[in-house]
């Protein structure tokens, strides 16, 4: 195998569509020589022309020098036939997600490249073991999964198939570094790391919507304002396209043998079958104009003309986070007189369960989620049949401080706790099955999906014991194995260890 650090390393790229073009560009910018090939007549030439156009644009923007651009162009050649890839020390395949097509491509590549050349697939869904199965030297086959758009997305998943040698993985990590990417080593598994890890964010949002806990707009706003996600789950699904995320959700669910943690919900399927794919069709969870902007988006805010509460009772005075919120709102806490709104916060319970367990008057109870960032938005909820005037008074006090109030239906774990706990739990489960190291799981989810924190970092932020409690309460309230805590999380919560603790 050629030294991956050598200056003259030659990379072949098979398939010159959008992904192939991005791989070509980052390879050139990493100082590598590139041979581009596409089975479609004129496909390689068209792809190379696009890359050259992008390099020229980078020169115009003064991102690279004209001399560097010319050197990159000189290092790029077009293969007339797949046999022209013979000098390549690494070939990256970026063709259709069809196992038959990939077998054909890899069979041809194996016949022309040197025995020590690395063959890598940019597949996002097909097992590396399946791709390598018919080859004579499966030990040199690995996944090199880039994210679109490749030049902007710094992550690359380096996927180790069942037969892939350690030497190949180390070489691909070095080459990924040279391409300016952040390589994360991942075990060969359905969805790999990012496509698996991203399921919790969307499916738990759909679960909350399915139960009529909150609207799409409310859930999105809570995740943006209180957890600092760039987009909520419904905005994200509309951006990527329901025609993309619904099939991926079903593939991952089925390939993990119908694990309840991974299932999606009927509304997701209904949008898919109706052709309401999101921005690309003008309607999905929301409606969009021709520029992709929302049309008349529903407000997530609760508005009331009630007089703001000034004095309240508190059912959980020991909770320091709620005490901070009460101080933030300028409220005075007094002993319950039988008429005051009663504030409480809890973890994983719903308002009904809390009232029943503690004997708190359910009609005057106003539950507040005091976790997360409370500076922009606060989530409030009540039991069914509660006194609305108590809620209105507290919501008015929230609004009076310039904070948005979101009122949701009674839910174990509110919205934010449920969402964060499920993201964290899936990250812990990926660590438990050895998909990647805890640190790499966090890195991949932040770079691949722009998460503000990695899943295991969320555990650290919430606290392992609290995250574990939220999931236990969710499972107890719903009876749904979807919420069963990962053993990785359970052990670290019980032992008081960091979620990043190995072993």
Q: Are 295 and 289 in contact (CB under 8 A)?
A: yes
Tokens of 501: 């603790």
Closest to 192 (Cα-Cα) out of 439, 457, 503, 430: 430
Closest to 144 (Cα-Cα) out of 90, 99, 100, 102: 90
Enter the DSSP assignment of 299: P
Angle at 211 between CA 302 and CA 431, to 5 degrees: 105
Q: Are 415 and 155 in contact (CB under 8 A)?
A: no
Closest to 285 (Cα-Cα) out of 233, 250, 249: 233
Active site residue ranges: 124, 145, 157, 195
Residue 350: how many CA atoms within 13 Å on its side-chain side?
16
As a whole number of angstroms, the distance between CA 309 and CA 326 comes to 11
3-state secondary structure of 275: coil
Q: Which helix (H) or strand (E) holds 273?
A: helix 266-273
Exposure pattern of 66-100 as b/e (b: 16+ CB <10 Å)? eebbeebeebbbbbeebebbbebbbbbbbbeeeee
Closest to 184 (Cα-Cα) out of 139, 145, 237, 134: 145
CB under 8 Å to 230, separation ≥6 — which residues?
224, 450, 452
Tokens of 201: 């964010």
Tokens of 55: 């390099």
3-state secondary structure of 90: strand
Bridge pairing between strands 10-14 and 311-314: unpaired
Per-state percent for the chain, helix, strand, coil, to nearest 5 = 45, 15, 40
HEC profile for 379-417?
Answer: EEECCCCCCHHHHHHHHHHHHHCCCEEEEECCCCCCCHH
Largest Cα–Cα distance of the chain, in whole Å? 86
Closest to 423 (Cα-Cα) out of 230, 205, 225, 234: 205
Task: Please state the φ and ψ torsions of residue 288, each to the nearest 5 degrees.
Answer: -135, 150
Task: Please state the φ and ψ torsions of residue 302, each to the nearest 5 degrees.
Answer: -100, 120
As a whole number of angstroms, the distance between CA 216 and CA 379 comes to 14
As a whole number of angstroms, the distance between CA 409 and CA 441 comes to 33
């Amino acid at each position: 195998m050629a030294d991956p650090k050598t200056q003259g390393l030659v990379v072949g790229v098979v398939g010159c569509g959008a992904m192939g073009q991005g791989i070509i560009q980052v390879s050139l910018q990493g100082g590598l020589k590139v041979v581009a090939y596409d089975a479609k007549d004129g496909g390689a030439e068209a792809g190379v022309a696009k890359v050259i156009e992008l390099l020229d644009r980078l020169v115009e923007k003064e991102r690279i020098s004209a001399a560097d651009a010319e050197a990159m162009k000189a290092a790029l050649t077009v293969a007339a036939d797949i046999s022209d890839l013979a000098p390549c020390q690494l070939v990256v395949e970026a063709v259709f997600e069809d196992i038959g097509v990939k077998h054909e491509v890899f069979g041809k590549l194996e016949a022309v490249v040197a025995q020590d050349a690395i063959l890598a697939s940019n597949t996002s869904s097909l097992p590396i073991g399946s791709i390598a199965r018919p080859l004579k030297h499966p030990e040199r086959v690995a996944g090199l999964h880039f994210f679109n758009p490749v030049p902007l997305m710094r992550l690359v998943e380096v996927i180790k198939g069942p037969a892939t040698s350690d030497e190949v993985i180390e070489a691909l990590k070095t080459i990924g570094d040279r391409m300016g990417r952040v390589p994360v080593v991942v075990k060969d598994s359905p969805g790999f790391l990012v496509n698996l890890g991203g399921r919790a964010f969307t499916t738990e949002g759909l679960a909350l919507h399915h139960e009529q806990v909150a609207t799409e707009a409310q859930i999105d706003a809570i995740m943006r304002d209180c957890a600092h996600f760039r987009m909520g789950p419904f905005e994200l699904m509309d951006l990527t396209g329901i025609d993309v995320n619904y099939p991926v959700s079903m593939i991952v669910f089925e390939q993990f043998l119908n694990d309840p943690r991974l299932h999606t919900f009927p509304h997701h399927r209904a949008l898919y079958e109706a052709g309401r794919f999101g921005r690309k069709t003008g309607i999905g969870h929301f409606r969009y104009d021709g520029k992709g902007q929302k049309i008349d988006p529903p407000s997530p805010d609760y508005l009331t003309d009630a007089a703001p509460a000034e004095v309240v009772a508190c059912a959980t005075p020991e909770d320091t986070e709620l005490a901070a919120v009460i101080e933030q709102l300028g409220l005075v806490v007094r002993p319950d007189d039988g008429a005051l709104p009663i504030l409480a916060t809890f973890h994983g319970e719903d308002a009904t369960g809390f009232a029943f367990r503690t004997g708190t008057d359910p009609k005057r109870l106003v539950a507040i989620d005091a976790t997360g960032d409370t500076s922009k938005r606060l989530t409030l909820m009540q039991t069914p049949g509660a006194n609305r005037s108590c809620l209105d008074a507290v919501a008015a006090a929230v609004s009076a401080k310039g904070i948005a109030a979101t009122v949701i239906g009674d839910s174990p774990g509110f919205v934010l706790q449920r969402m964060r706990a499920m993201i964290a739990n899936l990250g812990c489960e990926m660590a438990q099955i050895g998909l990647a190291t805890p640190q790499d799981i966090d890195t991949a989810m932040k770079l691949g999906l722009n998460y503000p924190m990695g899943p295991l970092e969320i555990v650290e932020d919430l606290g392992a014991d609290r995250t574990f409690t939220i999931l236990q309460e969710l499972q107890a309230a719903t009876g749904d194995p979807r919420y069963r805590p990962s053993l990785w999380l359970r052990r670290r919560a019980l032992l008081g260890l960091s979620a990043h603790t190995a072993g």
